[in-house]
């Protein structure tokens, strides 16, 4: 063998890479043999330190050893094991602690081979504040002990519908605190009997407190009891000849009765229940979660896990594994109802103990429900099947488009789910409020949680090339030296000009020019006449209106445009509203600050009356009239 040949076939210090790999595998197997017979969490990494899999074990050495046995595991597990370069373990005091740690790591680190439930948004709650005159409000986020939270609800519509019910029956306020503190006369909601007017003392503190308590009891499922109490209250008013008060209570009873009649799925026997149906078909899974709160069925939500687990337990049904993953990831840091109805036999004591410790009460799993619960489960099962069938149809079409794109561009990608595209667009209104968007396509779908917007500054208004240069530089300069983190395609909305600017940025940063693809619009900007423009010297490609690749490219490009333009409009409108206040003669920085402190925003200042504006320190009656006229 020549000296040159020897250099190519050996690594550093003349060591053969295959020998080096074998040595690392020996070290890994040695580490496995040294694991303790204790509960804990194990993590597998590949040679690039990418996290492959997170698992929990009652006995670390027994569980981890099963991955490296001579008896060949299934092909999908073998594929993962081949990639394992090193392992980390964390010993815990119990299997319950191991489960909690595993769930938290999966949710935060998104290992490649774990079953992962990605949810772009947290579930919404209805919050009743702990103030003298409590306010009810739509809420997302972490709960606290200072307010009362009801939910979670499956969607925002269910929360808003519930708020409307409480407004009709109990007339609780929904206004911002800044508005509530500075009202001098009741708002429109009082006029239409949706608020009792506590802001201007049209109801006593005791009366409002009683209405709040009844609203809370309604949310906890005591509707029938409240109805009986209201009936007695109306009769007492009538006996005392207080006909106006009796009529008001009668209207409350009518509204509450109407609500109960409309809620055909109401159950008096149970307050809070979650119904979970898992359906698996053709390598995809759907979990349908239906929520019952206060005895009211609030609707459902279909959730689709990613990574159906190349590293999952081969001895356990996939449906069970999906259910376990959902229960752990969905409930491990959230509120949990006392009863969960599922569509399969389920026995996982450690998981139930962990969830019970998390929420502070016992959790009852029902696997063979009767009566109303059975009807709820059947409906959840049917909805899961329908949702999964729809997704499978869409995913087949999308998968075909992705494969066509990979083939067209000669990308070295075996699994279409690995294709990652980052697309950019610039949006502004005649140079005002310039904003760039970056949207992500990965796993054959748009990844909303990874979208980013960039405010563009320091350029000539309307210079789209300079805007594109700035956003690409900011996006990819941090990835210099980390080429493995770069996307497979960087899509820019534009032809030769935008591609030329992207080429300049990538050349300066040392990134691969072949990643850049521009989408040039055809003559007359007609759909179907688009041309792909490359930065690495390849000739432009006309796709044709029936091209699968065009369908995919157009989808991603249009999403980038939508995301950019909605961000730009919000930024523009906010700036314009603020400038309207600045343009008012006699309203300087201090007065603007006081107005905003009192009312909260320019929009609420515009909604305020002249009398309300005049109550602000430093705002005379004349100036208040001037502000009102300027904003209307």
Three-state SS sequence of 342-353: ECCCCCCHHHHH
Is a pLDDT exceeding 50 seen at residue 342? yes
Instruction: Write out the two tokens for 49.
Output: 């330190």
Is a pLDDT exceeding 80 seen at residue 365? yes
| Mean pLDDT across 318-326 | 88
| Mean pLDDT across 83-88 | 89
Q: How confident is the model at residue 475 (pLDDT cuts 50, 70, 90)?
A: very high
Output 150 or 428, whichever has higher pLDDT. Answer: 150
* Residue 439: strand pairing partners: 423
Residue 266: the pLDDT is 44
Is a pLDDT exceeding 70 seen at residue 526? no
Asked whether 299 and 319 are in contact (CB, 8 A), the reply is no
Q: Quick check: helix, strand or coil at residue 360?
A: coil
Q: How confident is the model at residue 73 (pLDDT cuts 50, 70, 90)?
A: low
Is a pLDDT exceeding 60 seen at residue 601? yes
| Mean pLDDT across 256-283 | 67
Neighbours of 440 (CB within 10 A): 21
Q: How confident is the model at residue 74 (pLDDT cuts 50, 70, 90)?
A: low
Cα 261 to Cα 255: distance, rounded to the nearest angstrom: 10
Task: Give buried/exposed letters for 304-323 (b at 16+ CB in 10 A, else e).
Answer: ebbbbbbbbeeeeebbbbbb
**257 Cβ neighbours under 8 A, 6+ residues apart:** 227
Cα 47 to Cα 546: distance, rounded to the nearest angstrom: 42
DSSP 615: T
Is a pLDDT exceeding 50 seen at residue 2? no
| Mean pLDDT across 524-552 | 81
Q: How confident is the model at residue 198 (pLDDT cuts 50, 70, 90)?
A: very high
Residue 8: the pLDDT is 36
Q: Quick check: helix, strand or coil at residue 487?
A: coil
| Residue 209, H or E segment | helix 205-219
Lowest mean pLDDT among 162-171, 326-335, 426-435: 426-435
Output 250 or 518, whichever has higher pLDDT. Answer: 518
Query: Measured between alpha carbons, how far apart are the two ends of the chain, in Å?
Result: 88
Cα 199 to Cα 168: distance, rounded to the nearest angstrom: 18
Cα 632 to Cα 617: distance, rounded to the nearest angstrom: 22
Neighbours of 591 (CB within 10 A): 18
Asked whether 584 and 630 are in contact (CB, 8 A), the reply is yes
Residue 433: the pLDDT is 66
Cα 428 to Cα 439: distance, rounded to the nearest angstrom: 17
Cα 128 to Cα 244: distance, rounded to the nearest angstrom: 29
Handedness of CA 294, 296, 299, 305 (dihedral sign): positive
| Mean pLDDT across 462-470 | 88
**428 Cβ neighbours under 8 A, 6+ residues apart:** 434, 435, 461, 462, 467, 568
Is a pLDDT exceeding 60 seen at residue 311? no
Output 74 or 434, whichever has higher pLDDT. Answer: 434
* Rounded (10°) CA dihedral 199, 200, 203, 209: 30
Is a pLDDT exceeding 90 seen at residue 373? no
Residue 12: the pLDDT is 45
Q: How confident is the model at residue 133 (pLDDT cuts 50, 70, 90)?
A: very high
Cα 549 to Cα 189: distance, rounded to the nearest angstrom: 52
| Mean pLDDT across 423-445 | 82
What's the CATH code, domain 3-109? 3.40.1440.10
Cα 61 to Cα 472: distance, rounded to the nearest angstrom: 47
What is the bridge-based pairing of β-strands 421-429 and 489-493? parallel
DSSP 529: -
The arrangement of strands across the sheet holding 125-128 comes to 136-139, 125-128, 148-150
Same fold, 416-573 and 583-630: no
| Mean pLDDT across 230-240 | 76
Is a pLDDT exceeding 60 seen at residue 264? no
**Residue boundaries of the structural domains of the chain:** 3-109, 125-262, 273-302+333-389, 416-573, 583-630
What's the CATH code, domain 583-630? 1.10.150.20
| Mean pLDDT across 438-467 | 87
Which CATH architecture does the domain made up of 416-573 adopt? Answer: 2-Layer Sandwich (3.30)
Highest mean pLDDT: which range of 128-132, 147-151, 227-231, 344-348: 128-132
Instruction: Write out the two tokens for 589.
Output: 């920085």
Cα 23 to Cα 28: distance, rounded to the nearest angstrom: 9
| Mean pLDDT across 322-346 | 85
The arrangement of strands across the sheet holding 364-366 comes to 296-303, 284-293, 273-281, 339-342, 364-366
Residue 594: the pLDDT is 77
CA angle 623, 199, 171 (to 5 degrees): 135
Lowest mean pLDDT among 67-76, 285-294, 346-355, 513-522: 67-76
Cα 614 to Cα 624: distance, rounded to the nearest angstrom: 5
Closest to 149 in 3D by CA, of 184, 177, 125: 125
**99 Cβ neighbours under 8 A, 6+ residues apart:** 56, 328, 350, 351, 354
* Residue 138: strand pairing partners: 126
Asked whether 467 and 459 are in contact (CB, 8 A), the reply is yes
Is a pLDDT exceeding 80 seen at residue 138? yes
Instruction: Write out the two tokens for 304.
Output: 């689709």
Per residue in 512-523, pLDDT (tens digit) is 999 999 998 866
| Residue 630, H or E segment | helix 621-630
Establish whether the linkage from the previous residue to 152 is cis, with ω within 30° of 0: yes
Asked whether 421 and 489 are in contact (CB, 8 A), the reply is yes
Residue 578: the pLDDT is 52
Output 243 or 129, whichever has higher pLDDT. Answer: 129
Is a pLDDT exceeding 90 seen at residue 422? yes
Per residue in 202-225, pLDDT (tens digit) is 999 998 998 898 888 877 777 667
């Amino acid at each position: 063998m020549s000296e040159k040949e020897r250099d190519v076939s050996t690594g550093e210090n003349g060591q053969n890479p295959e020998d080096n790999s074998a040595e690392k595998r020996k070290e890994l197997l040695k580490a496995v043999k040294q694991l303790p017979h204790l509960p804990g969490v194990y993590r597998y990494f590949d040679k690039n330190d990418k996290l492959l899999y997170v698992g929990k074990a009652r006995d670390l050495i027994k569980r981890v050893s099963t991955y490296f046995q001579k008896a060949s595991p299934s092909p999908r597990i073998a594929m993962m094991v081949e990639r394992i370069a090193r392992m980390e373990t964390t010993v815990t005091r119990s299997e319950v602690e191991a489960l909690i740690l595993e769930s938290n790591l999966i949710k935060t680190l998104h290992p490649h081979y774990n079953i992962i439930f990605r949810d772009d948004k947290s579930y919404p709650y209805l919050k009743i504040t702990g103030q003298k005159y409590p306010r009810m409000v739509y809420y997302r986020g972490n709960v606290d002990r200072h307010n009362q939270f009801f939910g979670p609800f499956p969607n925002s519509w269910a929360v808003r519908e519930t708020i409307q019910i409480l407004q009709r029956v109990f007339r609780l306020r929904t206004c911002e605190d800044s508005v509530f503190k500075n009202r001098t006369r009741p708002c429109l909601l009082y006029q239409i009997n949706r608020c009792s007017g506590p802001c201007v003392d049209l109801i006593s503190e005791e009366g409002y407190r009683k209405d709040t308590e009844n609203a809370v009891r309604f949310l906890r499922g005591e509707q029938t009891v409240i109805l009986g109490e209201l009936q007695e209250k109306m009769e007492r008013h009538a006996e005392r000849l207080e006909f106006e008060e009796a009529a008001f209570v009668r209207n409350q009873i009518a509204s509450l009765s109407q609500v109960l009649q409309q809620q055909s799925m109401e159950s008096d026997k149970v307050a809070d229940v979650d119904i979970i149906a898992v359906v698996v078909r053709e390598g995809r899974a759907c979990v349908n979660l239906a929520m019952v709160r206060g005895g009211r069925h609030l609707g459902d939500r279909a959730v689709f896990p990613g990574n159906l687990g190349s590293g999952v337990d081969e001895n356990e049904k996939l449906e069970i594994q999906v259910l376990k993953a959902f229960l752990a990831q969905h409930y491990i840091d959230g509120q949990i109802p006392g009863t969960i109805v599922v569509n399969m036999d389920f026995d996982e004591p450690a998981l139930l103990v962990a969830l019970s410790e998390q929420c502070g009460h016992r959790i009852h799993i029902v696997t063979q429900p009767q009566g109303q619960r059975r009807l709820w489960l059947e409906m959840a099962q049917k909805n899961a099947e329908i949702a999964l069938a729809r997704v499978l149809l869409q995913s087949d079409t999308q998968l075909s488009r992705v494969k066509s794109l990979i083939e067209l561009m000669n990308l070295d990608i075996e699994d279409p789910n690995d294709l990652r595209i980052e697309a950019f667009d610039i949006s502004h209104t005649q140079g005002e409020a310039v904003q760039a968007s970056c949207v992500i396509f990965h796993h054959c779908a748009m990844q909303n949680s990874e979208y980013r917007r960039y405010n563009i500054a320091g350029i000539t208004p309307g210079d789209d090339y300079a805007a594109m240069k700035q956003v690409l530089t900011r996006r990819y300069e941090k990835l210099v030296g980390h080429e493995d983190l770069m996307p497979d395609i960087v899509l820019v909305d534009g032809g030769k000009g935008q591609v030329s600017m992207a080429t300049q940025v990538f050349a300066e940063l040392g990134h691969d020019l072949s990643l850049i693809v521009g989408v040039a619009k055809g003559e007359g900007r007609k759909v179907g006449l688009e041309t792909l423009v490359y930065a690495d010297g390849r000739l432009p490609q006309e796709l044709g209106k029936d091209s699968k690749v065009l369908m995919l490219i157009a989808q991603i490009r249009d999403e980038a445009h939508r995301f950019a333009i909605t961000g730009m409009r919000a930024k523009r409108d906010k700036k314009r509203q603020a400038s309207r206040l600045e343009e008012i003669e006699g309203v300087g920085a201090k007065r603007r600050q006081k107005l905003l402190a009192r009312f909260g925003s320019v929009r609420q200042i515009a909604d305020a009356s002249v009398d309300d504006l005049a109550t602000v320190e430093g705002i005379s009656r004349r100036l208040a009239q001037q502000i009102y006229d300027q904003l209307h």
